[in-house]
Amino acid sequence: MNKQQIAVLHEEGYIKQKEDGYFSVRIVTKAGTLTAQQMICLSEIADKYGRGQIGFTTRQSVEIPWIKEEYISEVKEKIKSAGLITGGTGKKVEPIAACKGTVCSYGLIDTLDLSNRLHERFFARELPGKFKIGIAGCPNNCVTAPIHDLGFMAQKLPRVEEDLCKGCTMCKRNCKANAIEMVEKRAKIDYEKCVQCGQCIKVCPFKAMQTEKEGLAVFIGGKFGRRYRIGDRLETLISIDEAVEITERVIAFYDKNGLPGERLADVVDRLGIDRVKAAVTVKSYL
């Protein structure tokens, strides 16, 4: 197999191993979810064409190594028949990584739904460099949203309705950030400490802890690897619909301004975050 054929396969998600004649196939998932039947299909592929081994990548993709070159076309057919796709390589929008916020008891949004919407619209779009999107369902931030090119993290800001507060301390006992004090038998929030996880709102038995503001925090220009950069945060929280819109804007900005091979983090450093913010935000976000 010549270099050009190897490069074509790489683009399709069949990655040449260091051992001659073997490839590792990368199967793209939507936020790490597969059906039981798809899992069975992948197990069969690993058993029949590989060495019975399956791995998972940090982008929530599945990798089956040790596929011999001559079996690649058969493997392609099997993967297609399971309704799955391969890829996630190259200078494109990578598989969207999202935490389990849809079912996690801390989850403030349906992370899988947002991930699916972004996947359908942006996955594999060609760009100057690779582009990673991460979605965290709460400030526990299991997906490390700020080190993605574009990161979203759900937050919920509480407010004490003093007239309703009975001083039961339930909120204080459930605040892992130690951001709640009892003052004259009423809950008082220290907003410097509060990480906006919304747990106090959930546990208050008297509806005295209410939602002041909720939505997604947005981080732009994060990166991790040989060099890391924490993404710059927009000043406000946005809605799920706005998250789709802002993704379109950030990607368009990067496509227009990124030099070949340059990551968004480097574009932000080169042009300045203010210019990026001006280009990607609209009034309603502010």
User: What gap in Å lies between CA 106 and CA 199, rounded to an integer?
Assistant: 7
β 133-136/97-98 pair status:
parallel
**Residue 33 touching ligand SF4 (CB under 6 A):** no
Amino acid occupying residue 47: D
Helix or strand holding residue 111 (H, E):
helix 111-122
Q: Which is nearer to ligand SF4, 14 or 152 (CB)?
A: 152
Q: 């759900």: which residue's tokens?
A: 154
β 62-68/232-233 pair status:
unpaired
Amino acid occupying residue 86: T
Q: Which of 13, 107, 128, 258 binds ligand SF4 (CB under 6 A)?
A: 107
**Residue 141 touching ligand SF4 (CB under 6 A):** yes
From the centroid of its chain, how far is CA 279? Answer: 22
Q: Which of 195, 230, 244, 271 binds ligand SF4 (CB under 6 A)?
A: 195
**Residue 160 touching ligand SF4 (CB under 6 A):** yes
Q: 């001659």: which residue's tokens?
A: 20
User: What gap in Å lies between CA 69 and CA 255, rounded to an integer?
Assistant: 35
Through-space distance between the first and last CA atoms of the chain, rounded to whole angstroms: 54
User: What gap in Å lies between CA 235 and CA 259, rounded to an integer?
Assistant: 27
**Residue 231 touching ligand SF4 (CB under 6 A):** no
Q: Which stretch binds ligand SF4 (CB under 6 A): 40-48, 64-72, 117-125, 161-169?
A: 161-169
Neighbours of 158 (CB within 10 A): 28
Q: Which stretch binds ligand SF4 (CB under 6 A): 24-32, 76-84, 97-105, 273-281?
A: 97-105
Q: Which of 45, 64, 99, 250 binds ligand SF4 (CB under 6 A)?
A: 99
**Residue 167 touching ligand SF4 (CB under 6 A):** yes
Q: Which of 204, 243, 246, 280 binds ligand SF4 (CB under 6 A)?
A: 204
**Residue 173 touching ligand SF4 (CB under 6 A):** no
Q: Which is nearer to ligand SF4, 45 or 175 (CB)?
A: 175
Residue ranges that bind ligand SF4, judged by CB under 6 A: 99-101, 104, 106-107, 136-138, 140-142, 158, 160, 165-171, 175, 177, 179-180, 187, 189, 194-200, 204, 206, 208-209
